[in-house]
Structures are given as C-alpha cells and as structure tokens.
Chains A and B, each alone.
Chain A
Amino acid sequence: MIERREVWITGVGLLTCLGEGLEAIWSSLERGGPPPYDDKSFAPYIVYPLAPVNFDKQIPKKSDQRQMEMWQRVGVYAAGLALADAGIAGKPDLLDRTDMIVAAGGGERDVPVDATILAGIRTVAAPGAFLNERLMNDLRPTLFLAQLPNLLAGNISIVHGVVGSSRTFLGEEAASVDAVRIAHARIAAGQSELTLVGGAYNGTRWDVLLIFEQAGALLRAPFAPVWDRGARGGLVLGNMGAFLVLESRDHAQARGARPRARIASICSDRNRRQPGDIETTLRRQWKTIADRVDPAHAVVISGAAGLEPATSAERDVLRDIGLPVRNTGTYIGHGVETQFVANLGIASTVIEHGKLFAPAGTGDVGTSPSALSQVVVTSVGNWRGEGLALVERAD
C-alpha cells in the first residue's frame, strides 16, 4: 500500500532582490560581489528590497493587485513563474487538480493608522472607546484580507486558478520545510500527483522589523555576511517569493515535462534549543542521507539566517561533513518562511549548471566539484526547527 514514488521539481519561480527567474538570479550569484542591500531606508537596520518588477505580467488585473499587500503580490508573482516554468500555467485541466501548500507569515499592518491611534490614545479619557472608533473608521475593510495568512494561497487560486486543494502552514522557517516535506510525502505516497509549494516574505516593513527587534535579532549597520556577524549575530530580512512545482515522475513523464531536479530526501525536526541541540539534530538528519551523498559531486546550500548561536552551530556541523558550502542569505537576505523553498530552487539551478556560485563570507568554503549533481539544503530556523533536504540531478 505504501507507495514511494520519485518526486521531481518540474517548475521553479523565484522573485528576489536579484531579480526574477532562475537565470537572472543564477548570473548574479555566479558573479558574486556586493549584495544589493539597503542600509538607509530603515537605518540602522538593513533590508534587501525587491528588484524592480512589473506585477502586471503575472497579476493582470489591477483590481486583484489592489486587494493584496506586497507579500501577497510577490508570492502570487513567484507562483505564476513556477506554474509557467512547469508548463501548467493556463491549463485548467491540470490546475484543477494541482494541490497547494503555502508557508506564510503574518499579514501587513496599516502602519500610518497604527501611528495615528498610538498618538491619540494616550490623551483620551476612554481609550477603549477611542480604539474602537478609530479602528472602525480608519481600517480599510480589505486590509484584513491582506493580513490573513491563507490569503496568499487564496489569491493564487483566484489569479492562477490553482484549485486542487489549498493549505497554509504557519511558523517561521520550519513552516516551509514542513510544507515541502508534506508535499513530497503526499506525492511519494500517491496522495497527490502535482503540488505547488512555496511562500513569500516581505521584510521591508516596520511592523515586521519591530517583532524581530523586540528579540534583539536584527543586525544593525554596518553590513556583514551571514557567517560573520559577531557573537550575537543578526538577521537582515529580505523581500522574496519562491515557489516550486513538485510532481510525481510518472505524471511529469506522461505529460512530457522536464525535471529541473528531484528531491531525494527531506526531513524536519525540532528540539528545545539547549546548547548542543542544533548540532545533535543536524547530525542525526545528515545520517539519514549520508550514505546517498557522493562527496565528489555534492555541495551544501545553507539557509543559515545569521543569528547566533544557530549559525555557528550549523557551521560546526557543516565543517565536519566537509562538503563545499554556500549560503544564500548574504545575497538575498533572510526570507523566513520563504528561504528554504528559495534555496531548493537555487539548488536545482546549481545542479543544472553543474557548478557552485561565488563564495560570500568566511563560512562559504570549498570550491565547486566537477560534475556537481547533488545539493544538500539546510534550514536552521532563527529560533526553532531544523530541516535538511537532498536535491539531485534527475536522470
């Protein structure tokens, strides 16, 4: 009864600070050099703003665009790229049975409305009534729809017609690892043939910066690569959308779809984040794939976020594993629920090009092996959750 079928990546859609689509992003990564971060707009904090994009190309109706906030537009755009890449965009018979798992964070707030309320509420006799009145009068009714986490998926259904099923996972980095893990498990077991999986994150917002600053988790200028942010470390948030189309090998072959790569293995876990826990979990996860990895042709793409001690813990484990390592956070920023899926997409293009991109920071070690055919993708969440995937050339 328990089927174990091969799971292919047949579509990738990426939209980041480096542009849109795998080729644009690959050429920036290959070139290396200073990443396009912005240390002015939210000084002293640093963010990676989205590259210029014409949303009309994937979201033709302005009325749809108006119903979304930035994170949703970015996600719907990236989802459209992935569907087009997989050759299922605009094909209702396929979209009708395409499942969807989205990893989403919180929706965006109306920052000026919040500021106005905060300015007024401390001087009024009845703060509760004042809050009610201002919220009733000042909040845009449709803002709620931009705040509901599942409305990224909802907008993808509306704009692109993906209607097989729709689930949205919550919970920072771990949400995206589990989104891919469950999409993969469902296809491997024959519960799904075709699943769109991914997310979007917009860190170029005061309201989201505030949440991370409470925890003292943000890097302040000057900028440093992920691996080199000092004893405390720090996050530099990005703005990105990333989606994959995962598909059973049989289904893909039957419709003549080409694989970019296959996901051979993926696991996720958690621990209480006591000293040594991250290392123990990562080493256990590595053991589940170690026998399948050919060190002569394999590399690691790390999702390290730049916070300590998580980043150093991961680095220690990767040093023992001994494969060449590249981190993407230095190039595109940290995308929380989106990073892992973006890195799986980048892993697929690394495999297609058969080589690694330029190093950035002291943890990016080793040189590209010849005939690179396997990528180990890591995700160590900024506060919880560890995940590991093995992406391979699909022959």
Chain B
Amino acid sequence: MTGHAAAGASGRDKAGRPIVAVTGIGVVTSLGVGKSDNWAKLTAGVSGIRRISRFPTEGLRTTIAGSVNDVYRDYMSPAELSERIALLAGEEAVAEAAIGVKGRFPGPLYLAPPPLEIEWPDRIKMAEMAAANGDTGYPDLMRVAREFASISGTFKFGIIGERLADHFGTEGSPISLNTACASGASAIQLGLEAIRRGECEAALAIGADGSLTPESLVRFSLLSALSTQNDPPERASKPFSKNRDGFVLAEGAAALVLENLDHARARGARVLGILEGYGEKSDSFHRTRSSPDGKPIIACMRNALADAGVGPEDVDYINAHGTSTPENDKMEHLGVSAVFGDRIRGIPISSNKSMIGHTLTAAGAVEAAFTLLTLEHQRIPPTINYNVPDPAIALDVVPNKARDAKVRRAISNSFGFGGQNVCLVMTREPA
C-alpha cells in the first residue's frame, strides 16, 4: 500500500494526495485505429470527416460525419460499434501499461458510453413481424417482442460496461456515466478521484461513441447544432473561424490507464503523463446554451487549476472543446480570456475537432489522450480549416499546421448540453 505515506513524500501532490499517472493510452477515431496512426495524422492536419456511406442521406441537411469506417462492418448497432471501439482502445491502453495479467485489470472501470435504445432496423423488423393486420403501434410490437429476445440485452444502458468488465476483468461494479459531451472527461475524473481516495491503485477510464445513425444525426440537426457545409466534407469543421456553422458528428473512443504514481514507479511502468487536477461547474442558464456571462465555464477552468494547485501562468497549451458551433467557440473564447487574461494571446489553443469532428461521449477522453500525446511529443496539433479568422476571437489557434513547442502543462476543456463543464489539467512530469 502506498496510500499512507506522509504528505510531501514522493508520489504525493501539494495537497498531500496520491499523484495520478497515466501509464497507458488507446485511441480509435475516424483517422484510424491506434494512437500512433492517430497522432501522425492529427499532427499532419489530416481530416477524418467523410460523406456518410453507412445509410442513405436523402432528405438530411447534414450528410457528412467522422465515422470509424475502419472498424464498422456490415450492420453494427451503436451498442455493438461502441463496445468494439471501446474494447480496441482499452486493449491498446492496457497493453501499453502492461498492468495486471490478461483478463484481470487491477482496478475499476469508468466508462462513458452513448445512451442506447432500440434502433430503427430492429423496430422495423418487429413491425414487419407484427403487421399481419396492418397495425404498427407499440401494443402490436409488444405481441412479437419476445421473438426478439436475443437483442433484448443490447439496449440496456449497462451492457457495454458489463461486457468490458468481463473482457478486461476489472474490479467491482463497472461505472457507466453520461455528462453529454463532457462524458469522457468525467470518466477520467472518476478514476482520478478513486485513486486519490485510496480505493484503488489503478483505474481504466474509457470514453466510446459509435452512434452515427439517421436519428442521432436528425436530433442534433433539429437543434441546428450541425454544420451543413457538406462539400467538401473535410472542410466543414472549422473551429474559431468566422464562417463556422456547427459541429460535425463523429465517432471514436479513447482509453487511459490511470495509476497511482508510486504504484507505477514501483513496478517500473513508463509514465506517459500526470493527471494533475480537474474542475467541474454546472450551468443553470439553459439546456443547450452557456450562461452569456461565461461564469460557469470560467469557474470550471479555475476550479481545475485550483485543484491542480497551479495558476493560469503555469499553463502552456489549451486543448479546446472547440466544437465549431458559433455558440461554443464564442463562449470558450470568453472563458479562456477571463481565466488567462492578457496572457491568452500567447497561449496556443487548438481544437482536435477540426480534424476528427465531435466524438460526443468519447470526446473528453479522446482529447485528453491527444493532450497527453501533445505533452509527450512537445508538438501541438493544429486547428485546421482556419482560413477566415473570426475577428471577435483573438486566439492563437495553431492555424492549419502543427507546431513544436515547449509544453509543460496543458488543460483540456469539455462542455456539454445540460450545463456540463469539465476541465482536466495534465503535465508531462510530476510537479
């Protein structure tokens, strides 16, 4: 047990809590499978946004997405695809961490999956079976429901977590959580908190979202959240640009092995980065919009810096939420300007979403993984498609080309519908 060492001893942060290291990273996005491939493309400014080929797009305002075509086969439901990419990312992270033995991960699982429900292909099959008399209401579907027993488990919210817990052999009850577009960051945060509490020496945090379907696209479309600049697809996501018009829905997954630093050192694990702190703050202004004064996102970032025991002057890079919606990018600019003051003009801030789109419940995890790779490689991925700067947003967005830079400490922002705000603070080495 390392949980009882004196405060200030090695492996403890300024507040006397166990320092939490990252010892394994796995990533799947529209750019590819695996963190090396992803990092190479991300720093080359490659876009993973494509025209949707998975289903017909007639009648839709948005016909592009960042789908994980490398993994999707035939028909896979969102539950199947999300589980698959979560598993791929998790395996990469666990292999890199070389922790535990195969099928026995020595800690709990914190998973951010997409919400699941019966999908249209299955609903239609049920209607076909029920429709001898032409009726297709829910009472008619009920008559044939038991014929579909084999798929009944696949819509349960806990199913992906349960299967991953079986696969990785994680300890205890797997936690599945949802904080909308901040979910992946919340999963990491729960692991960080558990290690700090001394409940475990390691945790597996995964965010995964493979839910590109007609209805998911329509739902965001009806809220006017998506870009409709479909042609060419790879140019649609343009965070912080004046002509930005919405985010691009995307799929992806990322996994982090979190570990008590002392535990990692004792077993000779390679430390990929330090998870130094987190901040949260909810917004009570509106279901889909931020408080116009930006106070909640400002408080969220300040809470994160305070939790990490550092100040705004200690941050060298900001991994933006940067969705490319008019609202988010304006509010994020307001927020970082308030937190970092005049210094903000000298702090690079880039959006991975310019290349991979918005991976929804996975985004916080995917972007935390990319932030850790930024710290590891001392190279900042760009914000691509930055050709028409928004004069109201005076930020160094690392336009269009990756940049080598000295990055000792970075923050990653995640903001979601429902007033969800999470900010993570990461460093390369323990402070």
Chain A 277-319, CB within 8 Å of chain B: the 1/0 string?
Answer: 0000000000000000000000000000000000000000000
Q: List residues 50-79 of chain A with CB under 8 A from any CB of chain B.
A: 67
Question: Are B417 and A148 in contact, with the CB atoms below 8 A?
Answer: yes
CB distance from A380 to the nearest CB of B (A): 13
B interface residues with partner A (beta carbon < 8 Å)? 3-4, 7, 12, 16-18, 55-61, 113, 115-118, 120, 123-124, 127-128, 131, 134, 136-139, 141-142, 145-146, 148-149, 151-153, 155-158, 161-162, 165-166, 172-180, 186, 190, 193-194, 196-199, 214-215, 218-223, 280-288, 296, 416-420
CA–CA, A148 to B418, complex, Å? 9
Known contacts A118-B136, A213-B142, A214-B148; A154 and B417 CB within 8 A of each other? yes
10 smallest beta-carbon distances between A and B, as pairs:
A154-B418, A171-B158, A128-B56, A206-B138, A214-B152, A165-B280, A129-B58, A118-B136, A132-B59, A170-B157
Contact of A35 with B by CB under 8 A: no
CB distance from A299 to the nearest CB of B (A): 25
CB-defined contacts of A38 to chain B, threshold 8 Å: none
CB-defined contacts of B116 to chain A, threshold 8 Å: 106
Question: Are A175 and B157 in contact, with the CB atoms below 8 A?
Answer: yes
CB-defined contacts of A155 to chain B, threshold 8 Å: 287
Contact of A139 with B by CB under 8 A: yes
CB distance from B186 to the nearest CB of A (A): 6
Known contacts A210-B118, A216-B146; A122 and B162 CB within 8 A of each other? no
Contact of A186 with B by CB under 8 A: yes
CB-defined contacts of B284 to chain A, threshold 8 Å: 157-158, 161-163
The total of interchain contacts (Cβ-Cβ below 8 angstroms) comes to 249
Contact stretch, chosen from A252-260, A265-273, A368-376:
A265-273
CA–CA, A202 to B403, complex, Å? 52
A interface residues with partner B (beta carbon < 8 Å)? 1-2, 45, 67, 100, 104-107, 109, 111, 114-115, 118-119, 121-122, 126-129, 131-133, 135-136, 139-141, 143-145, 147-151, 153-155, 157-158, 161-172, 174-175, 177-178, 181-182, 185-186, 189, 191, 206-207, 209-211, 213-216, 268-270, 272, 383-385, 387
Question: Are A150 and B416 in contact, with the CB atoms below 8 A?
Answer: yes
Question: Are A170 and B177 in contact, with the CB atoms below 8 A?
Answer: yes
CB distance from B307 to the nearest CB of A (A): 10
CA–CA, A215 to B280, complex, Å? 38
Known contacts A154-B287, A210-B145; A144 and B223 CB within 8 A of each other? yes
Question: Are B214 and A182 in contact, with the CB atoms below 8 A?
Answer: no
CA–CA, A155 to B155, complex, Å? 24
Question: Are A111 and B138 in contact, with the CB atoms below 8 A?
Answer: yes
CB distance from A70 to the nearest CB of B (A): 16
Question: Are B214 and A135 in contact, with the CB atoms below 8 A?
Answer: yes
CA–CA, A111 to B137, complex, Å? 8
CB-defined contacts of B218 to chain A, threshold 8 Å: 132, 135-136, 139
CB-defined contacts of A175 to chain B, threshold 8 Å: 157-158, 176
CA–CA, A145 to B223, complex, Å? 10
Closest to B147 in A: A214
CB-defined contacts of A385 to chain B, threshold 8 Å: 158, 173
Closest to B139 in A: A206
Question: Are A215 and B139 in contact, with the CB atoms below 8 A?
Answer: no
CB-defined contacts of B223 to chain A, threshold 8 Å: 141, 144
